[in-house]
Amino acid sequence: MTRGLARFHPAPRADWMEVMDSDWNDWKWQLKHRLTTLEDLESRLVLSSAERAGIRLSGTKLSLGITPHFFSLIDKKNPHCPIRKQVIPTIDESYVDPSEMLDPVGEDTTSPVPGLVHRYPDRVLLLVTDRCASYCRYCTRSRLVSGASGYDFHPELDRAIDYLKSHTEIRDVLLSGGDPLLLSDEKLDHLLGRLRAIPHLEFLRIGSRIPIFLPQRITPQLCGILKRHHPLWMSIHTNHPRELTTEVHQALGRLADSGIPLGNQSVLLQGVNDDVETMKELVQKLLFCRVRPYYLYQCDLIHGAKHLRSIVSKGLEIIEGLRGFTSGYAVPQFVIDAPGGGGKVPINPDYVIYKDEERVVFRNFQGKVFEYPEPSGSAVKPPNLSVPDYDVVSYS
Ligand SMILES: *Cc1c(COP(=O)(O)O)cnc(C)c1O
Ligand code: SF4
């Protein structure tokens, strides 16, 4: 069984063998050489007609953009490659299910200032840019990221900062977008500094997929800037174990060495990661990279993502298949971001079989049934409540 470092491999540079290491390892080179057109893809990959049609349409919806680093992880021989599905458009995106929305989790309705979403009592989401290093075809913010759909995204940072200053109930700001790590070092430093100057803000965090799409961006200089603004946490976004390459492992190591606690958010995607074995490998590799799996999201009801959405019961099966079977630290919380704007709601497998004032009856990860007598109950009066029949073996 492969363990530890042996599970990590450098990104195969197949199409870019002639490129100098100093270029390949330069995040600006990676951004400049992103694959953004049909020709870029067609010269490197045999596309299906569904993909070709999807790529032609992407310019009016969500742009096509893939860093050479991430593209090189695609298994060209496999039309169902889990990396390919995440970033290469298909014509299925143009099919909109009646249940789907442009703003599936109702962000625009809880936005007091453009770019700022204040849904929960003590924390806000601050969208600082509409650009990403690569574009995920299931992005919940595809209405605004990449600028392709004509959505008028103009974050008003000065107004957002004024709002934060005057709302002393806010203690936690989550920078997202788009990808905040696409800002220059100077801009990021300045923004974090302005936030840090607000005394009631205790907790800053950055949501970014750049450590995965563009690990070269995690330079020692960037880490030096980030660590000046502690306590600063980071949530990365990775869905499949193959995304965790040697370069990514090293980039995450630099962030962790800078004292940045790291979490991961995954989106449950059909044919990408909706099985226990894939997710187990992912979460174990994440712990090895010092990243704590944080959330597993049921895919939002975003326009044109039906072909990528898995079913809720798969998510529950994954959580059941992890809990007890691997490190507790490796088990993320499965959530549905309530359609229309109710926020993230935990969705959990049922371990409790029966409960009343006297006792709780529950099963463990193996399906064995146990009983816990409540302190208030049995000592005061004898337990005489009838517990419904339950069958130990049937819960395996
Ligand atoms: C996800 C989210 C947050 C952060 O939620 P946590 O559960 O604290 O990670 C904050 N605001 C909005 C609008 C969000 O969608
Ligand atoms: S990196 Fe995040 S914001 Fe950007 S396209 Fe992917 S899911 Fe959307």
Whichever domain contains 269, its CATH number is: 3.20.20.70
**Which of 105, 120, 173, 206 to mutate to test ligand 1, by most ligand atoms within 8 A of the CB atom?**
120
**How far, in Å, CA of 394 to CA of 105, rounded?**
38
Residues 360 and 336 both lie in one domain: no
Cα separation values, 180 from 127, 174, 218, Å: 8, 10, 12
Which CA distances in Å does 117 have to 66, 170, 173, 174, 203? 28, 12, 10, 10, 16
How many angstroms is it from 210 CA to the middle of ligand 2? 10
Instruction: List, in sequence order, every residue forming a beta bridge with 355; answer none if it has no partner.
Output: 360
Kind and range of the H or E run holding 64: none
Pocket of ligand 1, candidates 109, 334, 344: which has the most ligand atoms within 8 Å of its Cβ, to mutate?
A: 344
289 in active site? no
Tell which residue, 231, 227, 289, has the closest CA to residue 264.
289
What's the pLDDT score for residue 395?
32
Specify whether 301 is located in the same domain as 363: no
The secondary structure of residue 348, as a DSSP letter, is -
Amino acid 60: pLDDT: 87
| CB of 236 shorter than 6 A to ligand 2 | no
Residue 119 confidence (pLDDT): 97
Of the three residues 331, 349, 367, the one that is the final residue of a domain is 349
pTM of the model: 0.94
Q: Mutate which of 111, 123, 141, 334 to test ligand 1's pocket (most atoms within 8 Å of Cβ)?
A: 123
Determine the pLDDT at residue 151. 83
Cβ pair 264, 236 in contact under 8 A: yes
Active site residue 132: yes
Which of 349, 367, 386 is where one domain is finished? 349
- Please state, in angstroms and rounded to a whole number, the distance separating the CA atoms of residues 298 and 311: 8
Cα 123 to averaged position of ligand 1 atoms, centre (Å): 7
Q: Bridge partners of 362?
A: 352, 370
Q: Indicate which residue's Cα is closest to atom 1 of ligand 2.
A: 209
Task: Please report which residue ranges of 59-204 form alpha helices under DSSP H.
Answer: 68-71, 82-87, 157-166, 185-196
Number of domains in the chain: 2
Q: Which domain holds residue 75?
A: 1-349
Q: Which of 132, 289, 306, 309 is catalytic?
A: 132
> Of ligand 2's atoms, which has the minimum distance to the CA of residue 141?
8
Shared domain for 245 and 100, answered yes or no, is yes
Say whether both 48 and 78 belong to one domain: yes
Which position has the token pair 């709002």?
A: 163
Q: What is the pLDDT of residue 384?
A: 53
Residue 30 pairs in a beta bridge with none
Is the distance from the beta carbon of residue 87 to the nearest atom of ligand 2 less than 6 Å?
A: no
**257 and 359 within one domain:** no
- 376 and 294 belong to one structural domain: no
User: 77 with 204, same domain?
Assistant: yes
State residue 61's pLDDT score. 87
- At 56, list the tokens: 């032609």
Weakly modelled stretches of the chain, pLDDT under 70: 377-396
- Please give the pLDDT value at position 155: 84
Ligand 2: atom nearest CA of 209 is 1
CA 60 to chain centroid: 24
Rounded to 5 degrees, φ, ψ at 342 are: -90, -5
Q: Is the domain of 19 the same as that of 95? A: yes
Ligand 2, atom 7: nearest CA belongs to which residue? 139
Same domain, 135 and 219: yes
Q: Residue ranges of the alpha helices (H) in the chain?
A: 21-24, 27-32, 38-42, 49-58, 68-71, 82-87, 157-166, 185-196, 210-213, 220-226, 246-257, 276-288, 312-322
CB of 178 within 6 A of ligand 2: the answer is yes
Ligand 2 atom closest to Cα of 177?
Answer: 3
User: Do 292 and 229 belong to one domain?
Assistant: yes
For residue 176, give the H/E element and its range. strand 172-176
Q: Which residues line ligand 1 (CB under 6 A)?
A: 117, 119-120, 123, 125, 174, 344
Say yes or no: CB of residue 263 within 6 Å of ligand 2.
no
Distance CA 238, CA 265 (A): 7
How far from each other are the two terminal CA atoms of the chain, in whole angstroms?
Answer: 26
User: Do 266 and 323 reside in the same domain of the chain?
Assistant: yes
Q: What is the pLDDT of residue 396?
A: 31
Report the Cα 194 to chain-centroid distance in Å.
26
Q: Residue 22: beta bridge partners?
A: none
Q: Report the side by side order of strands in the sheet with 333-338.
A: 116-120, 123-127, 172-176, 203-208, 232-237, 262-268, 291-298, 333-338, 343-346
- Give the residue whose CA is nearest to atom 2 of ligand 1: 125
d(CA 7, CA 150): 42
Task: Give the span between the Cα atoms of 164 and 181, in whole angstroms.
Answer: 21
Q: Provide the pLDDT for residue 388.
A: 57
The ligand 1 atom at the shortest distance from the C-alpha of residue 235 is: 9
CA of 132, closest atom in ligand 2 = 4
| 112 and 149, same domain (yes or no) | yes
Q: What is the pLDDT of residue 1?
A: 80
